[in-house]
Structure 1
Amino acid sequence: MDSLILIVVCMLAGVMLRRQNVVPPNAHVALNQFAIYLLLPALSLYYIPKIHVTEKLLYPVGAGWFSFLFSWAFFATLGNLLKWSRKLQGCLIITGGFLNSSFIGFPVIEALYGKQGLKTAIMVDQPGTFVMLSTLGVLVAVLYSRGTPSAAVIAKRVFSFPPFIGFAIGAAMNLLHYDFIDIVQTVLQKLGSCVTPVALVAVGLQLKIDRQSKHWGFLAWGLAMKLLFIPAFFFVVYKLILGAHGELIDISIMEAATPPMISAAILASAHGLKPKLSGMMVGIGIPLSALTMAFWYAVLHYL
């Protein structure tokens, strides 16, 4: 419940700050950059060294990886057929393909499956969703933001991107079985905890519900992908094709049903990939997911 209250408070704060004209029109840009350059790397440096790699990672990690790859294949194909701009395709690939596996996923999974379920949820989030965001997510943002840059330019932008640097350092520490001293971990954890409120205020600053907006049709595609197509994909693959069952599988599918990832919206906005649409994906997708996640829970437990 406290997570849901925080969502509402921070988004409304952003909306009110914009309406009262007490912040610059481009204040959301500064907040996005603050998250990109400091808060997201802190998350990587705190969590990645602690991941324990086992065969049990395959299903939950697969939910984080293949949700994005499915979104990429779908929107790249559909966008080319419908002659969508590269920036629009990139926006929908990123905001439609990444799971809100921590901020929404963690409290929902804990409420439905208890604290034991969080072990699976963390595997979806860190080695799954967050690794993809820090690697292929950055790659897609670069590829779709400025035409078709050279391989050297792409490599430079990806490897110099702060969240990727944080991920790379964290992965090296994981391989070496090394972690920071307690005081550093505490600082990193507190910095990382600021991602959600900062990002949600930025979303609120950009969120304008314009009924005449040209984004509504594209928003419908993006939310259909994130809230319906992706969980349906994993339900069919995991349950019907592979015949996998059990709580670990159900939690992986429920995580796949979470709304668009806030950090992914930051990534898209920071690269100029339709910032208004990115904000709408989060601002409308999060409350709408209360209905769709209830639907998927019913599918998993009563069908």
Structure 2
Amino acid sequence: MANIILLFLCLIIGILIQRIKAFPKNTSAVLNQYILFIALPAMALHYLPKVQLSLDLLLPASIAWLSFGLAFILFNILGKIFGWSKKLIGCLILTAGLGNTSFVGIPIIQALFGDEGLETLIIVDLPGTFVVFSTLGIITATLYSNQKKSNDGSILKKMLSFPPLIAFLVGISLAIFKIDFPEALSTVFKQLAITISPIALISVGFQLRFKTYSKHFKFLALGLFFQLILFPAIIFGIFYGILNQTDLVAKVCIIESAMAPMITAAILSNANGLKPELSNMMVGYGIPISFITIGIWYVIIEHIFI
């Protein structure tokens, strides 16, 4: 219960400080950079060396790839049928195809499943969401904004200089060789990782914006339907209907698949001129709505997964 209270309290704090002039407009950018460069890598370095590697981790790691791939196929097909612009298609692929598996996902998973759930979340998030964002996301933003293609070296450089990915590579290497950091250092990493939840939620709250009218509402509804209902239903069907898997890993994967749009993906969409208004709406409406849909998915899996 304390984690749930913390979740909503920090979100509200973020919304309230939008109105306080002492907080500059780039407050959320600074908080996000702290999470990406310090807290999230620390989390990876604490949990990953302790992970027992097995083939069972392949599905959690593939969730973001599956989500992005399905979004790419679906919105390209619909775009051709209805004559949508490339920028609209690209916006929907980026914002509906990438979930907020860290900034929003970490505090929610921690609140619902405790620290044990974070071990699966790390696998969903780092080799999944962040690698997809750093590769396919950048390529998509470039292609659908009619810019010149980024060369392979540029994309590879961006990937290998991304702190969470570096931490993932270090952590997974230690896991492979069954080596862990000294207890004191691992504890330091854990303490830094603890800061993710409150700071991430304050950052999310600070960025939330709502519009009462927009011509993009029908596309907003379509994008959120895919991300909050259709795709988690597919993941639910895979775990429950095909694999008959109902353990903690399955639960975390389903909840992670139901996360709201990734804030960083919306920023990338904005930076490339891919319908900035719709990108902001996907995040602004998607995050609060996702709290309701995630709650519904949680009730479903807790009643069915015994």
Please tell me the TM-score bracket, short chain as reference. Answer: 0.7 to 0.9
Q: How far apart, CA to CA, are the structure 2 residues paired with 1:253 and 1:37?
A: 25
User: 1:74–1:49: structure 2 CA closer, same or farther, 3 Å change rule?
Assistant: farther
Shift in CA distance, 90/250, structure 1 to aligned 2, threshold 3 Å: closer
TM-aligned CA distance change 1:144 to 1:80, over 3 Å: farther
**Residue 14 of structure 2 aligns with which residue?**
14
Q: Report which stretch shifted further, 231-240 or 202-211.
A: 231-240
Aligned residue pairs: how many? 291
- 1:98–1:129 contact (8 Å) kept in structure 2: yes
Residue in structure 2 matched with residue 36 of structure 1 by the alignment: 36
Aligned match of 1:223:
224
Percent of pairs with identical residues: 22
Correspondence for 2:99 among 80, 95, 99: 95
| 1:237-261 Cα distance to aligned partner (Å, 9 max, x none) | 3444x36254468636643564337
**SS of the residue aligned with 2:112?**
helix
Please say if 1:285 is aligned against 2:285. no
Aligned-pair CA distance for 1:270: 6.5
1:156 and 1:127 mapped to 2: Cα distance? 22
Q: Does the Cα contact within 8 Å between 2:106 and 2:197 map onto a contact in 1?
A: no
Against the structure 1 CA distance between its residues 200 and 278, is the aligned structure 2 distance closer, same or farther, given a 3 Å change threshold? farther
- Measured against aligned partners, the alpha-carbon deviations of 1:245-281 in whole angstroms (never above 9, x if no partner) come to 54468636643564337xx424653775656346325
For the pair 1:190 / 2:200, whether they are aligned, the reply is no
What's the CA shift for 1:142?
2.3
Q: Among 75, 82, 85, which residue is 1:83 paired with?
A: 85
Q: Judge conservation of contact 2:260–2:283 (CA < 8 Å) in 1.
A: no
Provide the residue aligned with 1:132 in structure 2. 128
What's the counterpart of residue 113 of structure 1? none
| Alignment equivalent of 2:137, drawn from 133, 136, 141 | 141
- Tell whether the 8 Å contact from 1:63 to 1:252 is kept in structure 2 after alignment: no
Runs of 5+ consecutive residues of structure 1 not aligned to the other structure: 111-117
Alpha-carbon offset, residue 203 of structure 1 = 1.4
1:158 and 1:233, CA in 2 relative to 1: closer, same or farther beyond 3 A?
Answer: same
Query: What's the counterpart of residue 115 of structure 1?
Result: none
How much has 1:103 moved relative to structure 2? 2.5
CA distance in 1, matches of 2:122, 2:302: 26
The match for 1:175 is 176
The one-character-per-residue Cα deviations of 1:93-128 (angstroms, maximum 9, x if unpaired) are: 213788965432343346xxxxxxx75x45541223
Q: Tell me whether 48-57 or 243-252 shows the greater mean CA deviation.
A: 243-252
The answer to whether the 8 A contact 1:42-1:192 is kept is: yes
Q: 2:304 corresponds to which letter in structure 1? A: L
Instruction: Report what 2:263 is aligned to.
Output: 265
Q: 1:156 to 1:87 in 2, by over 3 A?
A: farther
Give, as a single letter, the amino acid of the residue that structure 2 aligns with 1:74.
Answer: L
Aligned to 1:204: 205
Tell whether the 8 Å contact from 1:101 to 1:258 is kept in structure 2 after alignment.
no
DSSP-derived class of the 1:92 partner: helix
TM-superposed deviation, 1:139: 1.5
In structure 2, relative to structure 1, the CA distance for the partners of 1:26 and 1:77 (3 Å cut) is farther
Name structure 2 gaps, 5 residues minimum.
none
Aligned to 1:40, the other structure's residue is in SS state helix
State how far apart, in whole Å, the 1-side matches of 2:78 and 2:100 are: 13
Between 248-257 and 11-20, the greater mean CA deviation after superposition: 248-257
Distance 1:266 1:218, change over 3 A: same
Code of the aligned partner of 1:259: M
What residue is the counterpart of 2:164 in the other structure? 163
Q: 1:63 to 1:252 in 2, by over 3 A?
A: farther
